Structure 1
């Protein structure tokens, strides 16, 4: 255990470590003195599973898009305010996504693919305009995996595709812990290239290596939008009502990596994002009454769920801005498709439908169904999860027909749930009792990049939530 580890972690960005539990005791999110050891072969297994699962998710996204009438030119010509999607004809409508968002979800999904570029308008001769595809940057995501070491196969529990946190712990805090404690001399030391994959690296001094996720994505964006400056300013927005500081610091870390990659940046609150009716633009407004100091936003990263954003006042205006046929609307990161197609639990039954019978890829999945389906009734042991839920909220675990633990919350009030065959997290004896770890496998720009482990305590810890600990790991 390191002397002064709390202050060290705080100085590195873990400002939200300590919390007070309902009984008045102090809770430490970071677990100092405990860690997990992995042989290299297990890391290779986890990397393979992460890469395979992401490829499967991309195929699942294609399937979901094909179920929406607005995927076709005819569907788009029906008009922005015309309803052609319903729960019978459209998968997105079935899971509760407002119809006005569908076209931009589909467009951002296909950005970069010239053959499926979703042109909106035609020129006076009736020909499609000669445009290059747009580009919708995506930087990161995190799979939550069940894994119990050698001899077991990693299984997907869910995909945190749009707003995953615990990034700074995985990328920075556990790396410094390993370096300061010297607990391993293995050449790999830790599965953790998150920071390098964000900012890039050189193979040798002066020799090109990997440009990193920020430079690669903004480079592709500028190819599609040549009017942008060589290094466009990237705004980073977070929700200030989240009082622990976790959202702010995760966004601040991402902002720091973009700045290290060479881009001008600015940290703002979600409440400072404004709309100029006359100019039809998205703006950064420093404070109420300072609209005259507003600054247009070309590129913005927001740590805020799209499923909240598109139900709020002003959502339609922001989506109309994205639909600008001249492509001068604001670019949002992560793009709308990350929540609509990949970042909700409806992905799980789609993956099972497409790959459940595949012996090579289906082994990474658990049988999953929409809760109202007849197949769901066949499961006696299962996890019931809201389609739109976060941090384990409104999840119920059932073993042999009897609930074993649940986490009541406001999620799931729309009645949309999925069920997934129960795969209880592994159990280990920790310092304070039985603990249950879940693997967080990180993707940077679609590539496996590292791991963070969160650990729940006791029966309640079988559902990973925001009160679970973060525990570092090494490769031995």
Structure 2
């Protein structure tokens, strides 16, 4: 694994705008990086990233049944008591799921280490599945990369296949917060994949989800919402005014309610309990676990934090970095520190995608900070010959 520089495509911004990638700049900063790439060897991808990602996902899936049937575990994950059955029933019905993204620490010198599993509302999907592949094709055409250059990236094909597994006998609604450019762009991309798979699709803002006279979810045209992909976290869903209807209508949503146990940082200590010493796991504990005190270099994470909010980094037991935010009331976990790949551009986190239960691609984000946050940049990757 190493980082290279190369000339940016002269028209990449126009190409981004033309395909709806309007968040190539965010918060006044560049988000997409067109003049660099991370390089891997094929064996490195297959043995150090793809195979471990598949194994980690399989381990997570094996663990779900234990968690949903354990009241204490659900409580430790801060899932509201009145919705434990919503989560449990979702798993027992085998509600179909779609995708997720592992965040891995990997620098090419040892096993990839799981930092967290974004199993509910992962973003950086469009740029992984579509735009970085277009970048590869263009750079080959420009002569900057050799014709045999490849990527670990079948994410779009797997998404279309996964959507094809859902029945097409009803409208497939897609919901997100429409004034979030990134969330809307990601949702629109997924909706396009569903249409490619043969679905009728309709977008609506999460805030426009209604309830009809019979207690069913409905859209602005008063149509019953029978299936809805929502780029909106389950921890928010379970605290919305319409959450009560989940008791009878929990099967409507994708990702399903059981994904709430995998997208929670509390998954990390539960994995460590079940698979202690696994080479792709970091020692992780709930904050009130006595074993947490045995770590000297570690990261403290809220159970429900996003974009690095309220994450703190400790070296030799002393806090050296802390991110602000609005999380933490739900509780914390403590995870052993793992070094990230480091270059003059910053620190890189590898996002490994699971679609339809298969590891199928990677995307890389880098940040000047050791805590990857909302100012991180997306850098494409290649597999060199």
Q: Could you tell me the TM-score, scaled by structure 1's length?
A: 0.76
Does residue 420 in structure 1 map to residue 328 in structure 2? Answer: no
CA contact under 8 A between 2:216 and 2:245: conserved in structure 1?
A: no
SS of the residue corresponding to residue 62 of structure 1 reads helix
Measure the CA separation in 2 of the matches of 1:172 and 1:455.
19
- State the partner residue of 2:170: 232
- State the partner residue of 1:53: 56
Deviation at 1:188, TM superposition (A): 6.6
Measure the CA separation in 1 of the matches of 2:67 and 2:14.
47
- State the partner residue of 1:16: 23
CA contact under 8 A between 1:348 and 1:369: conserved in structure 2?
A: yes
Does residue 140 in structure 1 map to residue 140 in structure 2? Answer: no
Task: List aligned pairs for 1:426-441, cutoff 5 A.
Answer: 426-430=341-345, 435-441=346-352
Does residue 347 in structure 1 map to residue 267 in structure 2? Answer: yes
Deviation at 1:186, TM superposition (A): 6.4
Deviation at 1:95, TM superposition (A): 2.6
Q: Which runs of no fewer than 5 residues in structure 2 stay unpaired? A: 1-7
CA contact under 8 A between 2:311 and 2:371: conserved in structure 1?
A: yes
Is 255-264 or 305-314 further displaced after alignment? Answer: 305-314
Alignment match of 2:218 (pick from 280, 283, 286): 283
Alignment match of 1:179 (pick from 131, 134, 137): 137
Deviation at 1:16, TM superposition (A): 1.0
Which digits, 9 at most, give the CA deviation of each residue in 1:283-332, with x for residues without a partner?
Answer: 002xxxxxxx411111100000110111122211233333xxxxxxx521
Alignment match of 2:65 (pick from 62, 65, 69): 62
SS of the residue corresponding to residue 311 of structure 1 reads coil
Measure the CA separation in 2 of the matches of 1:237 and 1:63.
30
Number of positions where the alignment pairs a residue of Structure 1 with one of Structure 2: 373
Does residue 44 in structure 1 map to residue 5 in structure 2? Answer: no
SS of the residue corresponding to residue 35 of structure 1 reads strand
- State the partner residue of 2:90: 108
Does residue 213 in structure 1 map to residue 121 in structure 2? Answer: no
Alignment match of 1:97 (pick from 61, 79, 94): 79
- State the partner residue of 1:157: 115
CA contact under 8 A between 2:86 and 2:246: conserved in structure 1?
A: no
Deviation at 1:231, TM superposition (A): 3.5
Does residue 194 in structure 1 map to residue 149 in structure 2? Answer: no
Measure the CA separation in 2 of the matches of 1:13 and 1:464.
25
Q: CA RMSD in A?
A: 1.5
Deviation at 1:270, TM superposition (A): 0.6
Measure the CA separation in 2 of the matches of 1:354 and 1:14.
41
Deviation at 1:413, TM superposition (A): 2.4
Task: List aligned pairs for 1:278-427, cutoff 5 A.
Answer: 278-285=213-220, 293-322=221-250, 331-339=252-260, 341-357=261-277, 362-414=278-330, 416-427=331-342
Measure the CA separation in 1 of the matches of 2:274 and 2:59.
9
SS of the residue corresponding to residue 100 of structure 1 reads helix
If you compute each CA radius of gyration, which structure gives the higher value, 1 or 2? 1
Measure the CA separation in 1 of the matches of 2:158 and 2:351.
17
CA contact under 8 A between 1:13 and 1:168: conserved in structure 2?
A: no
CA contact under 8 A between 1:186 and 1:475: conserved in structure 2?
A: no
Deviation at 1:240, TM superposition (A): 3.0
CA contact under 8 A between 1:144 and 1:156: conserved in structure 2?
A: yes
Task: List aligned pairs for 1:28-43, cutoff 5 A.
Answer: 28-43=30-45
Deviation at 1:48, TM superposition (A): 0.4
SS of the residue corresponding to residue 462 of structure 1 reads coil
Q: Which runs of no fewer than 5 residues in structure 1 stay unpaired? A: 21-25, 69-89, 113-135, 200-211, 220-229, 286-292, 323-329
* Stretches (4+) displaced over 6 A: none
Q: Could you tell me the TM-score, scaled by structure 2's length?
A: 0.94
